[in-house]
Amino acid sequence: MARTDLGSRILKVDHAGEFGAISIYTGQIWIAHLRARGLLPELIEFRSHERGHRAIFAAELERRGCGDVEATRRAELADFCLASQQVWRDVRQYLQQLSLSRVWFSAIWKNNCGP
């Protein structure tokens, strides 16, 4: 295998990793809106860095003639779907914990503080 072929393959993997990282940060940002607003500026900055990395890899792949726009679109859609599923699981878990906390607090209040 030619060295340039290996380099291009490595860049493609790195580029794909940036899509995943952006999706992870996007999911964390959604959850932070509900649970940890103080983290939003930092998470948004981290996602911005990953977007910059993705652009660098995309430009280099294009320069090498290895850019695949259609595959990139499919990767973005797949990452968005995975991030959405993770966010939904996190929100559902948060709501379940909140519900259990209310039940637990109500029981303690009734047993210890009620009439």
Residue at 85 is within a domain: yes
For 11, half-sphere exposure in the C-beta direction (CA atoms, 13 angstrom radius) is 21
* Domain assignment of residue 105, given as a range: 3-110
Cα separation, 70 vs 72, in Å, equals 5
Instruction: Please write the tens of the pLDDT for every residue from 68-79.
Output: 666 666 776 777
Count of the separate structural domains present in the chain? 1
In a domain, 115, yes or no: no
Q: Could you tell me if residue 82 is inside a domain?
A: yes
- Dig out the tokens for 53 from the structure: 């990395």
pTM: 0.59
CA distance 99 to 105: 10
Q: At what angle do helices 3-35 and 69-112 cross, to 10 degrees?
A: 30
Q: What is the pLDDT of residue 70?
A: 67
* pLDDT tens string 6-41: 888 888 878 778 888 888 888 888 888 888 889 899
